[in-house]
Amino acid sequence: MAMASTAIFSGHILTRCAQLPPPNKRNKFPVKVNKINEVSISYLKLKPERGSECRIRASDSSSVSASPGKMPDVLSEDVESSLAMAEVFDLSGKAVRLTDLWKERKAVVGFARHFGCVLCRKRADILASQKGSMDAAGVALVLIGPGSIDQAKEFAKQTQFPGEVYADPSHSTFDALKFVSGVSTTFTPLAGMKIIESYLQGYRQDWRLSFQKETVNRGSWQQGGILVAGPGENNIVYLHKDREAGDDPDVKDVLKACCTS
């Protein structure tokens, strides 16, 4: 049923997209924005409710963001312990402790829903577009996705992501950070409009990766986020937890956290 629901929902979105003019170039609108996209853009620009970007416990399932500076009141001891135990795998198959990614450096870490996700490919592009600023500030750019090493390799090949890509087949990093997961956080009006907008901009879902066992086993309901941390294992200075699919933070906030003194 989960796979069938996914196919039905995606099919509806793609049917609507098929009626729209195809993009001429990635990331650019080919024609004057139509009514469907005007609605999505105006909706996306709505400001978050007051309190959605504040210091709260990481166990809270809402979005968490904070200004640059250590956040001792955000991460509880059990979360820090879980982070220390979590590990990911690089494209060569080598296991790496999650906190080692920022132990000796500062890093921006994007967490994808899964490696085939169209919204995650757009997020990767948004972060990649700021790599020049990150390089100038000595900040590493990292992306982690729940899935196999082979899926991570395929994602890196398809997207040409300029940062480091890691696989998390056990979802240990997502569980440690208590990222939300569920049907109700995936099938939302906002997510649907963001999918339409992403297709208009030239991004595409990889259906083969999306329906592989490593993704389907978790129902494709996992959400991600963005974290800025380091140097130092417990020095997390910014944490955004997606409340639903496509819940991207303002990239200016990410840059402020990673690239300002």
Contact 178, 61 (CB under 8 A): yes
Q: What is the pLDDT of residue 75?
A: 64
| DSSP per position, 21-81 | PPPSSTTS-SS---HHHHHHHHHHTSPPPTTSSS---TTSSS-----SS--TTTS-HHHHH
Segment (H or E) for 153 = helix 149-159
Does residue 14 fall inside a structural domain? no
Q: What is the CATH number of the domain that holds 151?
A: 3.40.30.10
pLDDT by residue for the chain (261 residues), tens digit each? 334 334 334 443 443 443 444 444 444 333 333 333 333 333 333 333 333 333 333 333 333 444 433 344 456 666 777 888 899 999 999 999 999 999 999 999 999 988 988 989 999 999 999 999 999 999 999 999 999 999 999 999 999 999 999 999 999 999 999 898 877 777 778 778 888 888 888 888 888 777 667 666 665 678 899 999 999 998 999 999 998 887 889 999 999 999 986
Identify the CA nearest to 220 among candidates 191, 194, 240, 198. Answer: 191
Does residue 246 fall inside a structural domain? yes
Alpha-carbon span 72 to 237, nearest angstrom = 9
Look at phi and psi of residue 98 and say left if phi exceeds 0, alpha if psi is from -120 to 50, else beta: alpha
Does residue 176 fall inside a structural domain? yes
Does residue 235 fall inside a structural domain? yes
Does residue 227 fall inside a structural domain? yes
How far does Cα 185 stand from its chain's mean position?
A: 14
Total tally of structural domains belonging to the chain? 1
First to last CA, the chain: 50
Q: What is the pLDDT of residue 202?
A: 86
Does residue 240 fall inside a structural domain? yes
Residue with tokens 């690089």: 90
Q: What is the pLDDT of residue 12?
A: 38
Q: What is the pLDDT of residue 186?
A: 72
Q: What is the pLDDT of residue 246?
A: 77
Domain of residue 173 covers 49-182+205-259
Note the pTM of the prediction, 2 decimals.
Answer: 0.69
Does residue 7 fall inside a structural domain? no
Does residue 39 fall inside a structural domain? no
